[in-house]
């Protein structure tokens, strides 16, 4: 059991984890591997950006969100991963609000949104996507670029396949849609899917520890001192609430249902050819670069960028990624 716990501490953390866009139909991509060991704030502009912290009631659940920029400007919807919240997009909200309208919701049970019990809310990816889609509709957002990361991918692709006409383009930072994008580290998670019991559930618990959360943010980075520790400290507080472990294990278990939708999402990509910006941390143990490469099979219009960092690439390479985003969305 000790070996199982040690193994799954690594395996479950994540689950618990400048070229112009080519609009032709020619199968081309802009590929860049970026080493930013000596990066500076050269893209940081002085800004008077104001970020508003709001809530809106969706079917009895108060969904918290951060909003910045002029609503008359092009909109970017920012969908976060596990164990994070809209906090992970703080740099994006600050730096891009001079030119774009940005909206970053917290899913139910995450961030500053309500945390209803399992009896009050069904914690599945289908239901999270339903809530966020209703949120976007209630906000009157019917045309936007999507930024997806980790959990943001299965939520975002559900929204995109339901409403392809609304999605102008996709910014993908370690958001998977292919079997080959799941690394060998998923073996332990697959064991949970195959046989959910007290032991396989208990093996997930280290992912919710302060040490496990810190690992998720810092593993694969060039220098862990580049990463703001507020990330894992805030996540730890939320994951320490009564019932939080149980509902997150439900989401771990439900993640297998995303795999069955991969062919549908891939068909959406082939049929609709949304412009795609890849900004991927290659040292992510659960979503390695093979997941980024797989998108080349189905999407012709790719701006492909790989970074020498981990799962939360914005933490270490945010300035460079944000500049890529600015150039990308300008072309949509």
Active site residues: 311
The rounded distance, in Å, linking the Cα atoms of 286 and 326 is 28
Q: In the 3-class helix/strand/coil scheme, how is 34-49 assigned residue by residue?
A: ECCCCCCCCCCCCCCC
Specify burial of residue 142 (Cβ count, 10 A radius: 0-12, 13-18, 19+): exposed
Rounding to the nearest 10 degrees, give the CA dihedral for residues 36, 39, 44, 50: 60
The rounded distance, in Å, linking the Cα atoms of 233 and 231 is 6
The rounded distance, in Å, linking the Cα atoms of 174 and 172 is 6
150, 14 contact by CB (below 8 A)? yes
Q: Which of 121, 124, 177 minimizes the C-alpha distance to 146? A: 177
Helices (H), the chain: 2-12, 90-96, 125-138, 152-162, 187-194, 198-202, 210-218, 230-239, 244-254, 256-259, 262-272, 289-294, 313-330
Q: In Å, what is the CA distance from 192 to each residue of 14, 15, 199, 254? A: 15, 12, 9, 10
DSSP 68: E
The rounded distance, in Å, linking the Cα atoms of 306 and 121 is 37
Q: In Å, what is the CA distance from 253 to each residue of 180, 210, 324? A: 19, 22, 34
């Amino acid at each position: 059991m000790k070996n199982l716990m040690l193994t799954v501490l690594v395996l479950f953390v994540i689950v618990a984890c400048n070229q112009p866009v080519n609009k032709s139909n020619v199968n081309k991509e802009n590929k860049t591997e970026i080493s930013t060991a000596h990066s500076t704030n050269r893209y940081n502009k002085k800004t008077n950006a104001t970020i508003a912290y709001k809530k809106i009631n969706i079917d009895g659940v108060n969904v918290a969100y951060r909003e910045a920029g002029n609503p008359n400007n092009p909109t970017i919807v920012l969908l976060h991963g596990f164990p994070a919240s809209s906090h992970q997009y703080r740099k994006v909200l600050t730096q891009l609000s001079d030119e774009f309208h940005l909206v970053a919701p917290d899913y139910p049970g995450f961030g500053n949104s309500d945390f209803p019990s399992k009896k009050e809310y069904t914690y599945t990816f289908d239901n999270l996507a339903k809530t966020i889609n209703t949120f976007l509709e209630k906000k009157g957002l019917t045309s936007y670029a999507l930024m997806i990361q980790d959990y943001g991918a299965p939520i975002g692709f559900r929204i995109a396949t339901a409403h392809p006409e609304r999605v102008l383009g996709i910014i993908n930072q370690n958001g998977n849609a292919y079997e080959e994008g799941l690394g060998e580290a998923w073996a332990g998670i697959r064991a949970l899917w195959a046989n959910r019991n007290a032991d396989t559930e208990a093996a997930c618990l280290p992912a919710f520890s302060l040490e496990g959360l810190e690992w998720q943010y810092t593993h694969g980075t060039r220098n862990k001192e580049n990463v703001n520790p507020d990330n894992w400290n805030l996540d730890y507080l939320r994951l320490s609430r009564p019932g939080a472990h149980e509902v997150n294990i439900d989401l771990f278990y439900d993640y297998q249902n995303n795999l069955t939708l991969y062919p549908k999402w891939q068909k959406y990509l082939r049929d609709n050819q949304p412009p795609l910006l890849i900004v991927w941390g290659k040292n992510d143990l659960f979503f390695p670069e093979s997941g980024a490469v797989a998108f080349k099979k189905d999407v012709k219009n790719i701006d492909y960028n790989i970074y020498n960092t981990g799962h939360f690439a914005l933490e270490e390479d945010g300035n460079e990624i944000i500049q890529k985003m600015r150039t990308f969305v300008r072309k949509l």
